[in-house]
């Protein structure tokens, strides 16, 4: 896809529909079907995400009685949540995914489920998908230990099935907690459906309980909003309205509000969403430090922004990017030089974003590695270079199917 942009003096518009949060949607779907397993039939979800990940999960859950092999395709969240779901519902089946999914480790979650007492085996490489589930009527353990600096989705998967365990579950989190807001989001949604919990220091306790019927409305996706924040950083006299985003959001990626403020964007919360615009007379910093431990999905967008605005930046808390849809750290290191930047690991876990001296832009194709966030993050570059080509643009269906349509309302797309 070739993007082309003609500078405009003023952009004052609305993004009429931001995709609903797939993080909230996927959790709500799992809770809904766990509740049905407990004979609670009246949990309703409003504004469910149209992201492909959510469609995959919804299809698997709604058709589970007719499926012999569950295929999570390329959806990491789906694979992790379904791993716990299939274990607790005692399905004798296999869970698989794409070739890339089979390269992403699942052993921390499988090890934890085995600690509880579930019978799960690997069909190919130890520690990686596909996995097989077997019925097991042994008494389940109530205390497990799991490293907290891995994917928070492993922990969320365990939390959601905890109320269904005969004696509940105590989870001891070892080490620094990564993506803590997503664990809090899980607990908040569980609490909305009647589940009580305690979290003291690094120990979470959940007793046996029944999910209660309720109606849950999914908020818009702050991750999707981050790409429009990036646009505002580039375009003076730009004012955008983004719907259905709220100040008390449980989504970790609402940290874009604070991060973008450091880059000159102000956020005004109103009743049904937000207005974003540039701060008047703002001077961009030349050096800045970011920690993405709670919001790793923002890292690619902020990296591209820093390169294009000539800001030297230090990134921490991005270790989990290595096990995403692609190795996002390697992807950034490969593609940032095409727009004048470089990303270097200066010490373990600490990366420096800087500009290439005497860089001359040559129109080129940005490789996206089938990663939706690479597509959307690098699309921002059109506002500096006026033309840029994005490989595999359809990858955006994973989280923001209407992204190119929304962007085309602002730029001229060829």
Q: Which two tokens stand for residue 377?
A: 């993050």
CA distance 53 to 336: 27
pLDDT at 412: 56
The neighbouring-strand residues paired with 311 are none
Question: Same structural domain for residues 160 and 234?
Answer: no
CA 288 to CA 191: how far, in whole Å? Answer: 37
Distances (CA, A) of 402 to 21, 128, 229, 233, 407: 14, 33, 17, 21, 9
Q: Is 376 helix (H, G, I), strand (E, B) or coil?
A: helix
- Mark whether 380 and 306 lie in a shared domain: yes
CB 158 within 8 A of CB 206: no
pTM score: 0.87
Q: Give the active site residues.
A: 297
In angstroms, the CA 380 to CA 335 distance is 13
Question: How many alpha carbons fall within 13 Å on the CB side of residue 84?
Answer: 28
Judgement on whether residues 80 and 64 belong to the same structural domain of the protein:
yes
Q: Are residues 175 and 279 both part of a single domain?
A: no
Do residue 241 and residue 340 come from a single domain? yes
Domains in the chain, number: 2
Hunting for tokens 């990564």 — which residue is that? 178
Q: Write out the two tokens for 291.
A: 């920690």
Task: State which of 175, 201, 217 marks the end of a domain.
Answer: 217
Reported as half-sphere exposure (CB side, CA atoms, 13 A), residue 182 has a value of: 29
Phi, psi for residue 57 in degrees, rounded to 5: -65, -45
Please provide the size of the chain in residues. 414
pLDDT (tens place) for every residue of the chain, 414 residues total: 888 776 666 777 888 889 999 999 999 999 999 999 999 888 999 999 999 999 999 999 999 999 989 999 999 999 999 999 999 998 899 999 999 899 999 999 999 999 999 999 999 999 999 999 998 877 788 999 999 888 889 999 999 999 999 999 999 999 888 889 999 999 999 999 999 999 999 999 999 999 999 999 999 999 999 999 999 998 888 899 999 999 999 999 999 999 999 999 999 999 999 999 999 889 999 999 999 988 999 999 999 999 999 999 999 998 887 777 779 999 999 999 999 999 999 988 899 999 998 899 988 899 999 999 999 999 999 989 988 999 999 999 999 999 999 998 887 544
Clarify whether residues 366 and 249 are in a common domain: yes
CATH code of the domain in which 241 resides: 3.65.10.10
Closest C-alpha among 80, 83, 17 to residue 51: 17
Do both 102 and 142 map to the same domain?
Answer: yes
| pLDDT of 121 | 97
Q: What share of the chain is helix, strand, coil (3-state, %, to 5)?
A: 40, 25, 40
201 and 290 belong to one structural domain: no
Same domain (yes/no): 132, 60: yes
Same domain? For 151 and 165 the reply is yes
Tokens 């397993």 belong to which residue? 37
Both tokens of 309, joined, read 């605005």
Per-residue CA distances from 207 to 137, 158, 160 (Å):
20, 13, 12
Q: Which of 217, 245, 274 is the last residue of a domain?
A: 217
Q: What is the DSSP string of 13-62?
A: EE---PPBPHHHHHHHHHHHHHHHHTT----EEES---SHHHHHHHHHHH
Same domain, 269 and 313: yes
| Cis, peptide link before residue 130, omega less than 30° from 0 | yes
**Which of 403, 408, 379, 327 is CA-nearest to residue 51?**
403
Say if CB 169 and CB 158 are below 8 A apart.
yes
Which of 184, 217, 250 is where one domain is finished?
Answer: 217
Q: Which residues contact 85 (CB under 8 A, 6 or more apart)?
A: 30, 33, 34, 61, 157, 160, 161
What pLDDT is stored for residue 125 in this prediction? 96
Its domain, for residue 76, covers 22-217
Say if residue 193 is in the same domain as residue 341.
no
Provide the β-strand partners of residue 172.
145, 203
């Amino acid at each position: 896809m070739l993007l082309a942009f003609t500078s405009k003096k003023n952009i004052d518009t609305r993004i009429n529909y931001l995709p609903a949060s797939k993080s909230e949607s996927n959790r709500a779907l799992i809770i809904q079907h766990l509740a049905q397993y407990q004979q609670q039939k009246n949990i309703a979800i409003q504004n469910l995400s149209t992201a492909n990940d959510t469609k995959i999960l919804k299809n698997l859950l709604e058709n589970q009685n007719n499926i012999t092999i569950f295929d999570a395709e390329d959806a990491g969240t789906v694979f992790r949540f379904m791993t716990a779901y299939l274990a607790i519902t005692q399905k004798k089946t296999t869970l698989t995914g794409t070739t890339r999914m089979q390269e992403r480790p699942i052993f921390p979650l499988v090890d934890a489920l085995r600690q509880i007492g579930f019978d799960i085996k690997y069909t190919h490489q130890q520690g990686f998908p596909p996995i097989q589930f077997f019925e097991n009527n042994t008494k389940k353990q109530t205390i497990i230990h799991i490293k907290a600096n891995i994917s928070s989705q492993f922990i969320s998967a365990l939390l959601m099935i905890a109320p269904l365990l005969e004696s509940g579950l105590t989870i001891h989190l070892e080490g620094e907690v990564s993506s803590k807001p997503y664990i809090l989001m899980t607990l908040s949604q569980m609490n909305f459906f009647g589940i009580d919990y305690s979290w003291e220091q690094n120990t979470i306790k959940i007793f046996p309980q029944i999910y209660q019927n309720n109606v849950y409305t999914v908020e818009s996706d702050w991750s999707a909003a981050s790409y429009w924040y990036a646009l505002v950083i580039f375009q003076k006299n730009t004012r955008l309205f983004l719907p259905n985003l709220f100040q008390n959001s449980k989504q970790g990626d609402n940290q874009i509000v604070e991060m973008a403020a450091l880059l000159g964007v102000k956020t005004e919360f109103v009743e049904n969403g937000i207005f974003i615009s540039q701060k008047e007379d703002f001077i961009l910093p030349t050096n800045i430090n970011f920690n993405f431990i709670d919001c790793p999905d923002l890292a690619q967008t902020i990296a591209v922004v820093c390169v294009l605005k000539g800001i030297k930046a230090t990134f921490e808390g991005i270790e989990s990017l290595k096990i995403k849809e692609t190795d996002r750290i390697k992807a950034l290191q490969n593609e940032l030089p095409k727009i004048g930047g470089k990303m270097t690991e200066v010490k373990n876990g600490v990366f420096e974003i800087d500009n290439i001296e005497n860089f001359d832009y040559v129109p080129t194709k940005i490789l996206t590695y089938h990663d939706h966030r690479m597509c959307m993050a690098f699309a921002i570059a059109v506002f500096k270079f006026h033309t840029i080509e994005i490989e595999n643009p359809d990858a955006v269906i994973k989280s923001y199917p209407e992204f190119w349509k929304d962007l085309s309302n602002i730029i001229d797309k060829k």
